[in-house]
Amino acid sequence: MIGHVLNTARKVGVQQLVCVIGHGADQVEAYIRSECEGSATPTFAQQDPPQGTGHAVACALPLLPEDGQTLVLYGDVPLLSPETLQGLLDCANAEEGMALLTANLSQPKGYGRILRDDAGRLTGSVEEKDATEAQRRICEVNTGVLVAPTARLRKWVGQLTNQNAQGEYYLTDVLAMAVRDGVPVATRCCPDPSEVQGVNSQSDRCRIERAFQAQLAQRLLDAGVQLADPARIDIRGSLQCAQDVQIDVGCVFEGTVVLSEGARVGPNCLLRNVEVGPNARVEAMSHLEGCAVGPRAVVGPFARIRPGTELGEGAQVGNFTEIKNSSLGAMSKASHLSYIGDATVGERVNIGAGTITCNYDGAHKHRTIIGDDAFIGSDTQLVAPVVVGAGATLGAGTTLTSDAPAGQLTLSRARQTSISRWKRPKKTAH
C-alpha cells in the first residue's frame, strides 16, 4: 500500500518525502528503502506511541523546510490517483491557502463529517465519535488528505489538543483554525469515492484490491485489450500489452510481463517476468516464469516454463512438459510429458513424449546440446553432458550416455525376447 502512495506522490512532483512510521517501523522502513531504489529515499519520522493524525504530522514537520506547502497523505489509502491529487494542489495554489479533499459517500460511517455554514462555506470537520446525530447524517466526509502552507500548518498543529472521545490529536481540527485565522480553505470533491477508501481490516484490503484490479482492467480495455472478464484478472506488477492481445479468465500477472501484438493467454495461467512474442499463444493452466516466448510459439496447456528459458519462433511446448534454463529453437517441439533442463535445442527438433534431460548428477548441473533437425524418440533419457548431432535420430527408449553422431540412428535397447513356455503366477486361495 505504501508503495502505491509513494509512487503517486512522486508523480505530482513532491520534492521531499517524509514517512511517519510506528508499528513495525523496521519492516516498513526496509520496504520503503527497497521500493525507492534508484530514486530519492524519503526521510523517516518515528511516532511512538501513536497519538492520532495530528501527532503524526507534528512528528514530520521538523524535517520539512519552513517555506512551501505540505501535502498530507495516508499510507493505508493506496488508490488516490495523480490526477485527483494534482487537482487538490491546483485548488490550494489558486486560493493561496489550504485545500482539503472531500468525498460524498452513501455510507459515511467511520469518517469525519464536513461542517459548512448556511452559505456552504467550510467551517470545520467533526470525527464520527464526537458528532451529533444530525452531523452523522452528513454524507460529505473528510478524507484527511490536505495541502497547507507549511509555516501555518506548523503553527496550527502546535495548538492541537486531545480533548475528544479518542484522546488523540486530530489533524482535522486545523480546518477550524484556518477558518478562524481567515485563511482560505478550498475543498475538492474526489470524483471517484473508491480512491479514498482506507484499509482497516482484511475485508477492506480485499475490497480495495478488487477496486484496484478493476482500474487496471479498465485501462487495458481502453487500450484495446480483449479481456474475457474484467473481473477475473490479477495484475501484481506491470503488464504491458500491444494491440489485439487476448486474455482469458483467471490469469495472474506478476513482476514485469510484456504481451506483444496478437498474443493470446488462455484461462488460469500464471505469468511472472515473461515476454510473449507476437501472435504467440499460452494455453490454459500454464505457468511461465523468467522466460521469453518467441513469435507464433505455443505453450501448453498445462506446461511449465521456468527461468532462463527462451522459445524460438513457432516453437511448441505441450501438456505436462517442463523446460528450465534452456533454449528451444525455431519450429522445435516438445509436445508431451517431458523435462528439458539446461539444454540447447536447435531448430526443427522433435522431442518425443517422456523425454528427460538428466542434467543433475547430485552435485553439479550439466548441459545437453541437440543439433538442428534431430529427432528424439519417446521415453528417451539424455544423460548430460551429451551432444546430439544435427539430423540425428534417437530411437525410442534410448538412454544416451555418449554423443550421438550427426545424421545417424542411435539407440540403446535390450534385445526383445519372448518366452513361449512362461506362465503367469497365480494367487493362492486362502
Same domain, 356 and 384: yes
Same domain, 10 and 37: yes
Query: What pLDDT, on a 0 to 100 scale, did the predictor assign at position 317?
Result: 98
Contacts of 279 (CB under 8 A, 6+ apart): 260, 261, 262, 263, 295, 296
Contacts of 216 (CB under 8 A, 6+ apart): 233, 235, 239
Does 419 map to a domain? Answer: no
Same domain, 337 and 320: yes
Same domain, 300 and 175: no
Domain boundaries, position 236: 202-410
Same domain, 240 and 385: yes
Same domain, 162 and 249: no
Same domain, 54 and 135: yes
Query: What pLDDT, on a 0 to 100 scale, did the predictor assign at position 200?
Result: 87
Does 418 map to a domain? Answer: no
Does 428 map to a domain? Answer: no
Query: From CA 360, how far away is CA 349, in angstroms rounded?
Result: 23
Does 153 map to a domain? Answer: yes
**157's grid cell:** 498543529
Average pLDDT for residues 297-313, to the nearest whole number? 98
Query: What pLDDT, on a 0 to 100 scale, did the predictor assign at position 165?
Result: 82
Does 427 map to a domain? Answer: no
pLDDT range class, residue 46, cuts 50, 70, 90: very high
155-201 per-position pLDDT tens digit: 999 999 998 888 999 998 999 999 999 998 999 999 898 899 889 89
Chain mean pLDDT for the chain: 94
Query: What pLDDT, on a 0 to 100 scale, did the predictor assign at position 427?
Result: 85
Does 429 map to a domain? Answer: no
Same domain, 78 and 190: yes
**Cα 394-395-396 angle, rounded to 5 deg:** 120
The count of domains in the chain is 2
Same domain, 253 and 351: yes
CB 326, CB 307: distance < 8 Å: no
Mark which of 170, 196, 222 sits at the end of a domain: 196
Block residue for cell numbers 505455443: 298
Domain at 50, CATH number:
3.90.550.10
Q: With a threshold of 0.95, does the pTM exceed it? A: no
Residue 430 has pLDDT above 70, yes or no: yes
336-390 per-position pLDDT tens digit: 999 999 999 999 999 999 999 999 999 999 999 999 999 999 999 999 999 999 9
Same domain, 61 and 80: yes
Residue 38 has pLDDT above 70, yes or no: no
Query: What pLDDT, on a 0 to 100 scale, did the predictor assign at position 72?
Result: 96
Same domain, 163 and 210: no
380-403 per-position pLDDT tens digit: 999 999 999 999 999 999 999 999
Q: Kindly state the percentage of the chain with pLDDT values over 90.
A: 81
249-302 per-position pLDDT tens digit: 999 999 999 999 999 999 999 999 999 999 999 999 999 999 999 999 999 999
- Provide the terminal-to-terminal Cα distance of the chain, rounded to the nearest Å: 69
CB 320, CB 303: distance < 8 Å: yes
Domain at 405, CATH number:
2.160.10.10
322-332 per-position pLDDT tens digit: 999 999 999 99
Does 280 map to a domain? Answer: yes
CB 332, CB 308: distance < 8 Å: no
The angle, 0 to 180 degrees and rounded to 10, between the axes of the packed helices 2-11 and 82-95 is 50
Does 417 map to a domain? Answer: no
13-37 per-position pLDDT tens digit: 998 999 999 999 999 999 998 887 6
Same domain, 162 and 208: no
- Output 125 or 253, whichever has higher pLDDT: 253
| Active-site residue list | 336
